[in-house]
Structure 1
Amino acid sequence: MQLSRLLPAAIAATAIAVAVCAADAQDRMKLKIATEGAYPPFNTIGPDGKLSGFDIDITNALCARINADCELVAQDWDGLIPGLQAGKFDVIIASMTITEERKKQVAFTDKYYSTPLSLVASKDSDFDSTDPALFAGKVIGVQGATVQADYADEHYGKAGAVVKLYPSWEEAAIDLMDGRTDAVVSDKIQLMNWLAKGGKDCCKMLGDLEGSATEAGISLRLGDDALREKFNAALDTIRSDGTYARIEAKYFSFDIY
């Protein structure tokens, strides 16, 4: 008799729990987030086809804070902003530098890291500084449609260098190693990682480029203000609770914020 009284109550409690879980699932946002997959250590695609890197770990931490189910997709660099605008995905987390020109096309969050640009060249070369005058008539490789490309054009192209654009950073690095270019411009953190993982066998860092400090932000469609503020609040949270520092330490031995 006592069991018969408890059974309906247990069934009712189970039903309530299921309903709460279902409501929680319905409340979770579903977001498709694009990254490049060709910019280690920030984002890269492994032999297993999976995305990994600093950007990916930051993405997962932010999605957990904003209660979102996030699907990560790889997209060529040139297609990131057009794809966002066309609704192919909702967010870009791909080490995209915040610029005034890009602000006309996308909405940026606060920065999630910062870095200056630097220049690398063959270690057998005579280059001993980043002085643009030294590179007149030389070929400088850089990823196209980037702040790096703009800087190279403005400072080295005008000084007489040939600025060669590549679809990805990795292709520019390969040509430098094979002697098809004389130097490469990219962000300092990326270059330091590359040199540490084997690039030092062929190449040397010449130094930071004057006036080149940049900040990377998360990109959303113009008008997505509520979602942007969710990400900003989540960035503040992972900075204050130690999550950002733990992710940063996994990839870098210095502070990149």
Structure 2
Amino acid sequence: MKKLMIAASCALAFMTGSVQAQDTSIGSSDPRSLRIAFDVPYEPFEYKDENGELTGFEVELAEAMCEQMNATCKFVIQAWDGMIPGLLARKFDLIMSSMSITPERAERVLFSEPYYNTPGGWFGPEGFNADVTDMDAMKGKTVGVQRGTTMDTYVTEEMSGVVTIKRYTTADDMVLDLEGQRLDVVFVDYPVGEQTVLSKEGFKEVGEAVKLGEGVGVAMRKRDADIAREVNSALRTLKEDGTYDTIMQKYFAYDVKI
């Protein structure tokens, strides 16, 4: 897919922390300029390539969406646990970072129609043979999740008091602890597990994938209903004209479209 040209890269210092921005806009005063937040790294959805350029399934989809909306976009890197607070504080305008649609989040933000849905996956070392659905077998095990995700919610609701839950800001930190044998298993977005765990020698999928929630949507402030309508229209067009499938097939061997 033909990408939008990246005009410049810049760093934005926010009160909540250091945030990097990849700028595809002609200026923040432009009424058609939108700031889109991503949590990086979260491969294959958003990450930096060997040249340090921001890329991934959602990044390319965002570029195509902005082009379809005739909007200029600035890409902002934001840690996951600051996503919704940053949006509400007007530090960016959209979250397009694998944010699952949940009733709790929908009370605070306005979601687009879902644009993909992938299950959560269990991953661990080759020697792990416990049944992750058997609470007796899982008793005393340590499970890694990314903080504030639907996988975190699932493990907390289903396994609290049985397993020790360790929560991480980034998927990379979680995988490092899995490699260091400080975790028995991790429960992560399935494609993330494929990229970050199964790509390493000595690890495997240790349980069946679990379908969670209604899918992933673009999150906006409640007042931005006009933007939401444009986003929904653009995403529908990208699905209809084949652009979505072209992007998807670069990153997945299966259909994630919803």
Which bracket does the TM-score occupy, shorter chain normalised?
0.7 to 0.9
Q: Which amino acid aligns with 2:104?
A: E
2:179 maps to 177
Change (3 A) 1:106 1:188: same
Q: Which amino acid aligns with 1:205?
A: E
Residue 173 of structure 1 deviates from its aligned partner by 1.0
Q: Which amino acid aligns with 1:124?
A: G
* Conserved 8 A contact 2:172-2:196: no
1:104 maps to 107
Q: Distance in 2 between matches of 1:117 and 1:139?
A: 17
Match of 2:217, SS? Answer: strand
Find 1:83's aligned residue among 66, 69, 86.
Answer: 86
1:235 maps to 235
Normalised by the length of structure 2, the TM-score is 0.83
Describe how 1:1-257 pairs up with structure 2 within 5 A.
Answer: 29-158=32-161, 160-196=162-198, 198-199=199-200, 201-210=201-210, 212-257=212-257
Q: Distance in 2 between matches of 1:73 and 1:127?
A: 40
1:38-61, Cα deviation, whole Å (9 max, x unpaired)? 210001123543211001000000
Residue 195 of structure 1 deviates from its aligned partner by 4.3
1:68-102, Cα deviation, whole Å (9 max, x unpaired)? 00010101111111111001111111011100000
Q: Distance in 2 between matches of 1:156 and 1:214?
A: 22
Q: Which amino acid aligns with 2:243?
A: T
Q: Which amino acid aligns with 1:243?
A: T
Which deviates further from its counterpart, 130-139 or 106-115?
Answer: 130-139
Q: Distance in 1 between matches of 2:87 and 2:44?
A: 23
Q: Which amino acid aligns with 1:180?
A: R
RMSD: 1.8
1:119-141, Cα deviation, whole Å (9 max, x unpaired)? 11111123255433321111001
* Conserved 8 A contact 2:99-2:218: yes
1:186-241, Cα deviation, whole Å (9 max, x unpaired)? 11222123345x23x12111233556355111010012111001000001100000
Match of 2:148, SS? Answer: coil
Q: Distance in 1 between matches of 2:254 and 2:209?
A: 19
* Conserved 8 A contact 2:131-2:207: no
Q: Which amino acid aligns with 1:39?
A: Y
1:103-149, Cα deviation, whole Å (9 max, x unpaired)? 01111001110012121111112325543332111100111111111
Give structure 1 stretches of 5+ with no counterpart: 1-25
Bigger CA radius of gyration: 1
Residue 249 of structure 1 deviates from its aligned partner by 0.6
2:5 maps to none
Count of residue pairs brought into register by the alignment: 229
Change (3 A) 1:48 1:29: same
Change (3 A) 1:117 1:131: farther
Q: Distance in 2 between matches of 1:76 and 1:45?
A: 15
Q: Greater share of helix residues, 1 or 2? A: 1
